[in-house]
Amino acid sequence: MARVCAVWRVARATVYARRVRAPRPSPEIKRGPRTLLDDTAVLEAIRAVLAASPFHTEGHRKVRVRLRARGIRVGKARVLRLMRAGRLLAPTRRGLAHGDRTHAGTIQTSRPDELWGTDATLFYTRRDGWCWFFGAIDHCVEDVVGWHVAKVGDRWAALEPIRQGVQRTRGGYAPRIALGLGLRMDRGPQYTAHQFLGELRWLGIRPTPSFVGEPQCNGIMERWIRTLKEECLYLHDFATLEEARQVISEFVERYNRDWLLERHGYRTPADVRRALTRQAA
């Protein structure tokens, strides 16, 4: 185009402005080439693939691959649309309660020891292999009220941070000593065990499990686990579980003493708990 315009002494902008543009297709007309098979034929092929599959939970991605092996090349979105319309998608859990999808509420509390959060994570040691960390955090002060590391991450290991927190904040360990306290947790096997829930009832703690697939419900503890990983676990090559216990103990103490909380005006968890405790008194 540049060479032609130079020969004819015409500006390229004039040529582009005077070119006849092809009219745009109507929105009702599908762009691209026509497909060889209509939706009815593709849906029948999908049913044939599912009938021949040796498994019971084939999703739309695997069905698309199996269709390609039969010489039928269709898009992933089209397979998903047809399987959804034909009720052929892999089964999912039904009947579970869900909260507000926008998460417009809050899990933060205005007073300490109204709601705690608990969760667990894995870390690696060279001699002992994969080990467990369990912790509990207050949703108001955001200080760690209890923690525990163990090789076996069972229900008894999950209970240890709660026991430490009750003894620390209530000054003892007795039936109904923690009345009025709620515990936010996920639905892991440690937290749904009868022994775990039974000891919570014995202490007077109200379990408040988060919704399935919504980690925001336990967001305060989840965020602290991320801090633990970034500030401690990812920075050390632990040789043994005992070494990890010592390093984590020092980090938790340093966090409660020196970590600055923007929510509380950049004060440390220890300062916030002392101030709120004096107000309550």
Architecture field, domain 115-280? 2-Layer Sandwich (3.30)
CB 134 within 8 A of CB 171: no
Residue closest to 256 by CA, chosen among 240, 279, 239, 272: 272
Calculate mean pLDDT across residues 39-64: 88
* Order of strands across the sheet that contains 115-125: 144-150, 129-138, 115-125, 182-185, 206-209
Q: What is the C-alpha to C-alpha distance for residues 135 and 247, in angstroms, rounded to an integer?
A: 15
Residue closest to 175 by CA, chosen among 183, 166, 184: 166
Calculate mean pLDDT across residues 212-230: 91
Terminal Cα-to-Cα distance of the chain (whole angstroms): 85
Domain spans of the chain, in order of start: 36-90, 115-280
What value does the mean pLDDT of the chain take? 89
Calculate mean pLDDT across residues 240-244: 97
Which of 14-23, 63-72, 93-102 tops mean pLDDT? 63-72
| pLDDT beyond 50 at 28 | no
Residue 112 pLDDT level (bands cut at 50, 70, 90): very high
CB 270 within 8 A of CB 256: yes
Calculate mean pLDDT across residues 222-228: 95
Which of 7-21, 87-101, 193-207 tops mean pLDDT? 193-207
Residue 166 pLDDT level (bands cut at 50, 70, 90): very high
Residue closest to 44 by CA, chosen among 1, 79, 9: 79
**pLDDT of 116-132, one tens digit each?**
999 999 999 999 999 99
Give the pLDDT score at 175. Answer: 96
Which of 33-37, 102-106, 118-122, 185-189 tops mean pLDDT? 118-122
Give the pLDDT score at 48. Answer: 93
CB 45 within 8 A of CB 82: no
Calculate mean pLDDT across residues 39-43: 92
Give the pLDDT score at 25. Answer: 55
CB 86 within 8 A of CB 43: yes
Residue 62 pLDDT level (bands cut at 50, 70, 90): confident
Give the pLDDT score at 19. Answer: 74
| pLDDT beyond 50 at 16 | yes
pTM exceeds 0.85, yes or no: no
| pLDDT beyond 70 at 31 | no
Give the pLDDT score at 194. Answer: 96
Q: What angle do CA 194, 123, 209 make, to 5 degrees?
A: 30
| pLDDT beyond 80 at 35 | no
Q: What is the C-alpha to C-alpha distance for residues 223 and 212, in angstroms, rounded to an integer?
A: 18
Three-state SS for 187-256 is CCHHHHCHHHHHHHHHHCCEEEECCCCCHHHHHHHHHHHHHHHHHCHHHCCECCHHHHHHHHHHHHHHHH
| pLDDT beyond 90 at 20 | no
Residue 30 pLDDT level (bands cut at 50, 70, 90): low
Residue 32 pLDDT level (bands cut at 50, 70, 90): low
- Residue 130's DSSP bridge partners are 124
